[in-house]
């Protein structure tokens, strides 16, 4: 695997700016991959890796950059928990680790760079050198990934009885004997004009 500095530089270019979230995401990914025995996430091991991210913030871009996993490849799944955490899964072995950024690390960053007045700059620099046990907590887990969420071709495609759109990957809803897309089933996130 590439060095931390190189991975951070690549991630920063993709994300658009350097920030503490980039540092957390790069370090989290490197540690996660190591703990589940993935050496070449973008090459030989790419079909073995699956990542579940729990937040839609800067660290997620870094995780995607380092691992090569993405929503479009169905090798990354966003779990809307709002926690700075990710679970790295080796699909071949089933080994999985959930890594959470420790809230205490924000306060601890002051001891590493007390001369920096800006707390965000303190965090950015401290997270680069902070020992992993101060920055993260680790939990070995079993990841429950439904078959419909696995990478690969869709398991099925069905047509919505309401609007006629096609629904893939088991996302349809059965309601009153009809097969509906989530929008027609009342879960619309938009309002038609």
Boundaries of every domain in the chain = 4-148, 153-187
Sign of CA dihedral 71, 42, 53, 173: positive
Average pLDDT of the chain is 96
CB < 8 Å & 24+ apart, contacts of 107-114 = 108/134
pLDDT at 1 over 90: no
CATH topology of domain 153-187: Wheat Germ Agglutinin (Isolectin 2); domain 1 (3.30.60)
- pTM to 2 decimal places: 0.93
pLDDT at 33 over 90: yes
- C-alpha torsion 136→137→140→142, nearest 10: -90
pLDDT at 134 over 90: yes
Q: What is the pLDDT of residues 42-79, one digit of tens each?
A: 999 999 999 999 999 999 999 999 999 999 999 999 99
CB-based contact 62:21 (threshold 8 Å): yes
CATH of 4-148 among 1.10.357.10, 3.30.1330.130, 3.20.20.330, 3.40.50.360:
3.30.1330.130
């Amino acid at each position: 695997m590439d060095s931390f500095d190189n991975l951070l530089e690549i991630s920063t270019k993709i994300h658009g700016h350097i920030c503490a979230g980039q540092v957390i995401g790069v370090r989290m990914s490197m540690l996660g991959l190591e703990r589940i025995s993935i050496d070449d996430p973008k090459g030989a091991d790419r079909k073995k890796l699956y990542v579940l991210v729990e937040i839609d913030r800067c660290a997620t871009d870094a995780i995607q950059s380092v691992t090569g996993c993405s929503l479009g490849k169905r090798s990354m799944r966003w779990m809307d928990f709002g926690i700075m955490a990710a679970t790295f899964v080796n699909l071949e072995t089933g080994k999985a680790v959930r890594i959470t950024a420790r809230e205490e690390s924000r306060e601890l960053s002051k001891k590493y760079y007390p001369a920096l007045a800006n707390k965000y700059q303190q965090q950015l620099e401290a997270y680069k050198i902070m020992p992993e046990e101060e920055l993260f907590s680790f939990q070995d887990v079993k990841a429950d990934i439904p078959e419909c969420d696995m990478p690969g071709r869709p398991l099925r495609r069905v047509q919505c009885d309401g609007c006629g759109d096609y629904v893939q990957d088991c996302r349809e809803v059965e309601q009153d004997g009809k097969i509906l897309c989530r929008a027609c089933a009342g879960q619309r996130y938009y309002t038609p004009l």
